[in-house]
């Protein structure tokens, strides 16, 4: 969906271009943190009994499941402390 007029898009691009690299990084990091917070909140609203390891896995899958194969997801999960994939189908069902 794109409901922004071309004129506004140009003005926004010019505003962002005027920011320093540090300011742009800070802005993007803040947006990512906000997105992650919203995903965590939604996950906990769906299932209040998730533990921290399950939440980490679910957040990862929401952000990156389409970028990796099931085998890669399992490998990544095995290397991240406290990340718990509930079962084999969790990685596959998120693709």
pLDDT tens-digit map of 14-29 = 999 999 999 999 999 9
Same domain, 17 and 59: no
Same domain, 44 and 61: no
Global confidence as pTM: 0.73
Same domain, 41 and 57: no
Q: What are phi and psi of 59, to 5 degrees?
A: -65, -45
Which among 41, 43, 24 has a CA at the least distance from the CA of 90?
A: 43
How do residues 32-57 score in pLDDT, each as one tens digit?
A: 999 999 999 999 999 999 999 999 99
| C-alpha separations of 57 from 10, 63, 90 in Å | 38, 10, 9
Same domain, 42 and 63: no
- Residue 63 sits in which domain range? 51-95
| C-alpha separations of 32 from 3, 6, 42, 72, 76 in Å | 22, 25, 15, 23, 20
Same domain, 58 and 38: no
Same domain, 94 and 55: yes
User: How many domains does the chain fold into?
Assistant: 2
| C-alpha separations of 25 from 17, 28, 76, 85 in Å | 12, 5, 25, 31
């Amino acid at each position: 969906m794109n409901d922004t007029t071309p004129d506004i898009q140009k003005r926004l691009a010019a505003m962002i271009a005027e920011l320093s690299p540090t300011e742009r990084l800070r802005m993007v990091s803040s947006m990512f943190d906000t997105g992650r917070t919203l995903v965590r909140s939604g996950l906990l609203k769906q299932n209040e009994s998730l533990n921290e390891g399950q939440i980490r896995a679910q957040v990862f899958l929401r952000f990156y499941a389409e970028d990796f194969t099931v085998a890669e997801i399992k490998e990544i999960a095995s290397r991240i402390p406290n990340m718990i994939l509930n079962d084999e189908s969790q990685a596959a069902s998120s693709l």
